[in-house]
Amino acid sequence: MKVFVSVDMEGVSGLTDPEEMRAGGRGYERGCELMTADANAAIRAAFDAGADRVVVTDAHGGGRNLRADLIDERCTLVRGPYKPMRMGEGLDSTFDVALYVGYHARAGAERGVLNHTWMGREIQNLYVNGEIAGEIRLMAGYAGSLGVPIGLVTGDEAACAEARDVLGAVPAVAVKRGLDRYAAELIPPARAQERIYETALRSLREERWPQLTMSAPYTLAVEWNATAIAQSCAVIPGVRLTGPRTTELTTDDYADVVGLLGVCATIAGEVGCTGRNYG
* Residues linked to residue 177 through DSSP beta bridges, in sequence order: 185
Task: Show which residues are catalytic.
Answer: 116
Long-range CB pairs of 265-269, under 8 A, 24+ apart, other chains included = 265/118, 265/119, 265/122, 265/123, 266/82, 267/229, 267/232, 267/233, 268/119, 268/122, 268/123, 268/224, 268/229, 268/232, 268/233, 269/119, 269/122
Which is nearest to 100 in space by CA: 139, 63, 71? 139
Burial class (CB in 10 A: 0-12, 13-18, 19+), 82: exposed
